[in-house]
Structure 1
Amino acid sequence: FLHHLRDARPLPRIRLPAWVMHLAVRHLGTSREEELAHLRLLAEGADLELEGLAGDFLRLRLGRGLLRWERHTEFSTYTLVQGLPETPLEGDPALWLAVDPLWLRGIPGRTILALELILVPGPVEEGLEVARRWLGPGPMVASLIGREQYGLVATDFRARASGLERIIAVLRPGTTETRAGRVAMRLLEMETYRMMASLGFPVARELLGFLQQAERRLAEITAEIRDRNRADAHLLDELEALAAEVEHLLAEHTSRFGASRAYQALVQERLAELREAPIPGVQTLGEFLNRRFRPAMTTVDSVANRLLALSERIAEATALLRTRVDIALEGQNQAILARIQKGQEMQYRLQRTVEGLSVAAISYYVLGLLGYGFKALKEAGLPLAPEVATGLALPLVVLGVWGFMRRIHRQLFHP
């Protein structure tokens, strides 16, 4: 895969002296088709088949230079490589640009980086003097590069009147075009990734105020949970509202913070590939990044970690409070069930009492009827004592009525 990627996007070969203009443009909804349509405006009249514009990489040879286009996940880069113009660079760029300035201004998307890289051959020992002539007075950072210290790179990270940030690379005479191209791409990518990584910093700084308020509110709610000052249901509602807001911010900004971390790692990787060495009395590129860039990235990491930790703490507090609410509800349910059970037991005892009374009452009336029957039989001449017969029938009647009542009870409650 890496071999294929290297062949698909080969490094440029740059002949010294050279002037390189590099633009990094965020997509912000710009589609590949829109960028390709804009590139076709340059391709018109050039020896380029339209099928060659189907991918995410393009090299287009122009009359006085080479345009390199690369599309990435969040941004695209446009790199124009041409010979170093003889016209002073502080003049009108239209005098030496190999492309129409109107075409450059019409590139779709939002430009986040515009810089020019000047590569000149010369003794490395005189590199600072050369860089000073190009950068002018004022503070600058510079480093020797390469294990053999074959070059010097300097910049002041300041935009010129043309809107372009300027980087100077003084490379030892005899430097190959391949090495010059490699140095150029590392510098351009380092700055591009630095700008992309920095996109997370304004977001992180904006969230600092919210984090302070949310953390303070969570501490207050936690204290109220401990002290039981308010109803648990109200506290649970507040926690859920706070959790919803935090989760919304996590969903909205986690990808931005993650991208900033990834771009920061690429910045450090490109810086390491330059193999910079210090120049006495001059701040190096790495030192500048440590002093200016790393604190911003530390803020991004801190805010991302605090936001995630806040989400976890809210989840823990919510779980604790919900457990307490559930336990309280369980206690209430148990009390209700106990009352219901007690009522059922009383109802059952009452029912049994009623059943017993019913057996007695029914037996009484049945015995009364039997008594009338026995008296009638005696009057008919049968040798029968009604009182004795009624007394003998008493247990049979009671047992019969009781059995009848039990059968009805089973049919009603145990069908």
Structure 2
Amino acid sequence: MTKILLKGATLVNEGREFIGDVLIDGKRISKIAPSISVDGSVKEINCEGLHLLPGCIDDQVHFREPGLTHKANIQSESRAAVAGGITSFMEMPNTVPNTLTQELLEAKYLRAAEVSPANYSFFMGASNDNYDEVMKTNIQDVCGVKIFMGSSTGNMLVDNTNTLEHLFANVPMLIATHCEDETTIRKNLEEYKEKYGEAIPMSAHPLIRSAEACYLSSSKAVELAKKNNTRLHILHISTGIETELFRNDIPLEQKRITAEACIHHLWFSDADYESKGTWIKWNPAVKTAADRDQIWKALLDNRIDVIATDHAPHTIEEKQQPYLQAPSGGPLVQHALLAMLDASANGKIPLVRVVEKMAHAVAVCFQVKDRGFLREGYFADLVLVDLNKKSTVTKDSLLYQCGWSPFEGTTFSSSVEKTFVNGVLVYENGKLTGEKGGERMLFNR
């Protein structure tokens, strides 16, 4: 296998930026040094003027396969992910059928092995009545167990108190939760139906799926986790008040309770509903600019540990429906890193912290084996970005099967130039190479 030598890039890794060379030998990084010379067969790539980052790890995506492939599939969305510098993803279980058995879970892995250019892992789903199946989950080759404590489809809402207690007390691996209190949401929705009938405005979304609903559920999850010493990870924090639930006085490696912020809650606010409408309808809802500011503060002071996308595509026709019918969710994996690089260029977050929150911390949080860092011996999951080359989001440039993006028309200050997955060049100069580098992620547990 030909070695690849990346020459003269600015490496961004573990709190440092420095110019150096990286030698890829097969699937792994074999050497990192200020200057590397190689005897024999080597493909040399001049990276001067480019920044080399560890590939991003997205701990929350919905790729819609099986059962919802009119919206998206593992192949289409993983291709969009690598085009955006995301080299590894963790996918959620609310597909059709719901991923509630080990057989259905393994079928997803088999499919990804066939088609995914990105590395992959899939959450095992919990319900009110599949405890025995959940407990069969292999802690070394599955990223975690997902519990919907609100806002789910099919049979995945876990609202039985005894079941929650049992899961939090006994699951031996990371539990990831969606936290919104359904009772509060249903009450709010009925009030808005009485006021507006079927014509509820989009601006009501963050009031129906309110900060109170989020906090009630998140605080309950934290309480259960503290009681049972559960390894809890709360997804997509959307309110300022929730950030008060988390701590930053110990290293991430020692935390038993961690939290995630998503791109849309860092980028948009309720002021954007007027122009974006259902394009930015997510659960939990995008809330106020004050909430957004508090999420940013918690991200920067390490109460919030990682950045993800909650990539959840729907068709244009589905999203164009009125508020009550339009589903929540949107596509983000192709532009998440670019959005954060923009935030860095605008002084919102240092570049090294972008890498920390989108790669290093995710690897630490989930105990990912040999990924998430530029280190000798680690897998060569790498992304080369040009911080001085603008890129505009056009419909023609989208790789999402759904064919739309809430970022359409946005010009980002940076561009993704090349993406490597396990040493395989899967994306370069605006095009997929057609190579499939993705592998099943493993975990040091």
TM-score bin, normalised by smaller chain: under 0.3
Which structure exhibits the higher relative contact order, with contacts defined as CA atoms closer than 8 Å and separated by 6 or more residues? 2
- Rg larger in structure: 1
- Select the structure that is richer in strand: 2
TM score, norm. by length of structure 2:
0.26
TM score, norm. by length of structure 1:
0.27
- Select the structure that is richer in helix: 1
